[in-house]
């Protein structure tokens, strides 16, 4: 059986220590990919809980930003080549294994910097493929970072954290917006999205991002299911 994570060194899951319910939910989601929380490739990352909001949109936004930054810093310092980052409210579509083997295999030969297995962009006619994009994603519940872009991304995130709120080039902000700002400002950064999207955010209250609710439109899930069935029976 081929290694479905051959090009990904670690799967990091951002989780608050006290949210054991989220860990149980993630255990169920990982099983869809043939993984578990006990797998050596999976690593729980204790979410940052800063003491002060400062110039950030909220205390939770600052904690979320710091958590993602620390994971990428950790991955780079450890010499990891590519890491998948999941927030603990990420759900994979039930038909994920219809598409993930092809997506995982092609990612190992594709020229890319940031890949989004899960995204809210409109569905295309592609199936089990990656599509280049410069569109705003607006989510960071499921993405993959290649070592090729880590130094530049880390420098950018550190600069954002040091700027005042409202800075024209991007100051303290929600992390998903910062990722978009990053590749808008660096046009050489290669961004790809999975077709179809194989992960969405579970509708739930976020303890890290205070006051934000995570949801993917129901229609998106129905489209993903339709395309999975079509692919299974027609190969298209």
- Give me the DSSP letters along 180-223: HHHHHH-TTS-EEEEES--EEE-S-B-SSSTT-B----HHHHHH
DSSP per position, 20-52: HHHHHHHHHHHHTTT--TTSTTEEEEEPP--S-
Cα 211 to Cα 57, 59, 61, 201, 231, distances in angstroms: 11, 10, 10, 15, 38
pLDDT of residue 187: 96
Is 124 part of any domain? Answer: yes
32-52 tens-digit pLDDT: 999 999 999 999 999 999 999
**What's the pLDDT band for 234 if we cut at 50, 70, 90?**
very low
pLDDT of residue 235: 45
* DSSP H helix total and E strand total for the chain: 6, 9
pLDDT of residue 223: 52
Pairing of strands 114-116, 191-195: parallel
Long-range contacts of 67-70 (CB under 8 A, 24+ apart): 67/14, 67/208, 68/14, 68/140, 68/157, 68/175, 69/154, 69/157, 69/158, 69/161, 69/175, 70/45
Burial label, 65 (beta-carbon count in 10 A; 0-12, 13-18, 19+): buried
Domain count for the chain, please give it: 1
For position 46, which CATH number holds? 3.90.550
Is 177 part of any domain? Answer: yes
Is 5 part of any domain? Answer: no
Share of the chain above pLDDT 70, in %: 85
The DSSP output letter for 19 is: -
Is 2 part of any domain? Answer: no
Q: Which domain holds residue 15?
A: 10-234
């Amino acid at each position: 059986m081929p290694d479905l994570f051959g090009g990904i060194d670690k799967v990091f899951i951002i989780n608050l220590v006290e949210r054991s319910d989220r860990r149980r939910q993630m255990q169920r989601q990982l099983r869809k990919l043939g993984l578990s929380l006990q797998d050596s490739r999976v690593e729980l990352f204790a979410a940052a809980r800063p003491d002060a909001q400062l110039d950030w949109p909220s205390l939770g936004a600052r904690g979320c930003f710091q958590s993602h930054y620390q994971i990428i810093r950790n991955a780079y310092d450890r010499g990891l080549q590519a890491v998948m980052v999941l927030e603990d409210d990420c759900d994979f579509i039930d038909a994920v294994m219809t598409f993930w083997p092809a997506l995982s295999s092609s990612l190992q030969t594709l020229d890319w910097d940031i890949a989004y297995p899960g995204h809210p962009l409109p569905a295309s006619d592609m199936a089990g493929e990656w599509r280049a994009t410069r569109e705003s994603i607006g989510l960071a519940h499921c993405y993959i970072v290649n070592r090729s872009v880590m130094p530049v991304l880390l420098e950018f995130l550190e600069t954002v954290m040091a700027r005042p709120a409202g800075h024209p080039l991007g100051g303290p902000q929600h992390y998903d917006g910062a990722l978009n700002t990053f590749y808008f400002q660096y046009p050489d950064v290669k961004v790809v999205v999975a077709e179809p999207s194989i992960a969405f955010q579970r509708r739930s209250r976020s303890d890290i991002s205070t006051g934000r609710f995570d949801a993917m439109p129901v229609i998106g899930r129905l489209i993903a299911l339709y395309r999975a069935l079509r692919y299974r029976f027609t190969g298209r």
